Amino acid sequence: MSEQAEFDQLVAPGYPVFLGSEIQQPAPNAAAYHVIPVPYEESVSYGGGTGDGPRAILEASWQLETWDGISTPSDEGIYTQPPVDMNGDAATIVERIAEATRYAVEQGAMPVALGGEHTVTYGVIKGLLAAGETDFGVVQIDAHADLRDAYEGNPYSHASVMKRIVDHDIPLYQLGIRAFCHEEVECRAAREGQIHYQDAVTLVPNGISAIQLPEDFPSKVFFTVDIDGLDPSVFPSTGTPVPGGLGWYQTLGLFESVARQRKIIGFDLMEHAPIPGFHAYDFAASLLVYKLMGIVQRNR
Ligand SMILES: [Mn+2]
């Protein structure tokens, strides 16, 4: 594709630096954020294409303004890592994702992972643990609970990622869920006090854009955004879209309400599956990533 020649700052063939049209790639230890591209697509259950998500988000980021309308997150330094190597089995790849995340933390940066399917988040959480992070919870925006112990026999399925995480005794707060199975409802019940939630049926019809975390929720939060948590009218670019999802401003508001109450130690955007010819969704995904950086910057 000849358009690729326009990208003069690449971290690997086809992988432009995030916002590389506006900023120079800083040294890894001089950035507040490490963008980690993870083109993982293995356990897809319906529509495919998440493996192309990180590249599309990075390309679209060259159309962003550095001023996000309120502040300039890029002033703090954004370093884009090379994409995580996707050779090998799921367990191997999860370990590599963990290693990339640990490297980000050790360089003093906040990991910002771009998927790829939601399984990637498990690797990021393992990386935070390996880097010595303790006393953190996970807040999840998603259409699906992802609490199955395994899906189609695969414990590394994107439909099981939150189960892997709560199995590490990490507290979880779920937002926008609207597709479950019985096993997932039972998992929530069995882990009352560990798993909290405000489902889409509560948030969306009532226009709720802020939550109050429980008092005993950890002081630090990793925030995972499955793009299908937003409504398909905003992001049809995902493998398993479900109607009745969160709006754009509602998503930003929910994230900000958490950032005001707790220290955000990283976030991710998963399950973006570009639709060829519809670059609006790639741009929206890159804008969402940048807006979340801005919220982190202003609430630090
Ligand atoms: Mn998910």
Three-state SS string over 17-86 comes to: CCCCCCCCCCCHHHCCEEEEEECCCCCCCCCCCHHHHHHHHHHHHHHCCCCCCCCCHHHHCEEECCCCCC
Q: What is the reported pTM? A: 0.97
C-alpha of residue 144 to centroid of ligand 1, in Å = 6
Q: Give the model confidence (pLDDT) of 31-79 as tens digits.
A: 999 999 999 998 767 778 899 999 999 999 999 999 999 999 999 999 9
C-alpha of residue 283 to centroid of ligand 1, in Å = 21
C-alpha of residue 201 to centroid of ligand 1, in Å = 17
C-alpha of residue 216 to centroid of ligand 1, in Å = 25
Q: Give the model confidence (pLDDT) of 191-239 as tens digits.
A: 999 999 999 999 999 999 999 999 999 999 999 999 999 999 999 999 9
Confidence band of 2 (pLDDT split at 50, 70, 90): very low
C-alpha of residue 2 to centroid of ligand 1, in Å = 34
C-alpha of residue 104 to centroid of ligand 1, in Å = 23
> Quick one: pLDDT at residue 48?
85
C-alpha of residue 26 to centroid of ligand 1, in Å = 32
> Quick one: pLDDT at residue 109?
98
Residue 82's CB: how many other CB atoms inside 10 A?
Answer: 13
Parse the chain into domains and list their residue ranges: 10-298
Average pLDDT of span 159-188:
97
C-alpha of residue 270 to centroid of ligand 1, in Å = 8
C-alpha of residue 101 to centroid of ligand 1, in Å = 19
Q: Give the model confidence (pLDDT) of 244-289 as tens digits.
A: 999 999 999 999 999 999 999 999 999 999 999 999 999 999 999 9
C-alpha of residue 230 to centroid of ligand 1, in Å = 11
Residue 262's CB: how many other CB atoms inside 10 A?
Answer: 19
Fold for 10-298, please state it. Answer: Arginase; Chain A (3.40.800)
Q: How far is the C-alpha of 100 from the C-alpha of 158, rounded, in Å?
A: 19
**Mean of all residue pLDDT scores within the chain:** 96
